[in-house]
Structure 1
Amino acid sequence: MTVALMWEARAAEGRGAELVSWARERRLAVEPLRRETFRAPQDRVLVVTWWDAPYDAELPELPEPDGDLVTRAVHRWRFEQVPDA
């Protein structure tokens, strides 16, 4: 089964590029099948990782950035792939 973990944070005003760099520099204890980083207006950063694992598997995730780099707690979601019909 493929599981996708989504990590989304909003940088403090004007610090979006710094948050992108911070997220890219974070290494996980185990490398995922795939990892992508996205940005959006309002200095939001999204990191999606794909894993070959059961839905409830313990998987490494990006940590919370230092408090002054973000405006709120990180949002996290977990999804499982739906097979094509």
Structure 2
Amino acid sequence: MPTVALMWEAKATPGRAPDLLAWARAQTLPPSGVPCERREHFTAPGDRVLVITWWPGGYDADVPELPDPPEELTARPVHRWRFERV
């Protein structure tokens, strides 16, 4: 069965990375017809926060994504990517 990974990356406003990470961890994904297989959170220099979720289905699978965080937590718009396991 194919798997799609959704990557969600945001750059926090200076000094707000812990708040952005806490916000991302607290987000629940809307119910969908398929269960989330896995979800992981990462941080990187430059106040960046990354969340990756894995779902059953192909690249175009209809699965929920994390929303945009409050504007006061971010220095720029969220970046999102999809990848299909090969």
Normalised by the shorter chain, which TM-score bucket? over 0.9
Residue by residue over 1:12-55, the C-alpha shift from the partner in whole angstroms, topping out at 9 and shown as x without a partner, is: 00000000000000000235100000000111000000001121
Alpha carbon RMSD of aligned pairs, Å? 0.8
Identical amino acids, percent of aligned pairs: 59
Report runs of 4+ in structure 1 exceeding 4 Å deviation. none
Contact 2:9 2:50 in 1 (8 A): yes
TM-score of the pair, normalised by structure 1: 0.92
**1:58 CA drift (Å):** 1.4
Structure 1 regions of 5+ residues with no counterpart?
Answer: none
TM superposition score normalised by structure 2: 0.91
Q: Would you say how many aligned residue pairs link Structure 1 and Structure 2?
A: 82
2:56 to 42, 52, 56: 52
Q: Structure 2: how far apart are the matches of 1:58 and 1:71? A: 28
1:21 has 2:7 as partner: no
1:54, 1:2 → 2: CA distance? 6
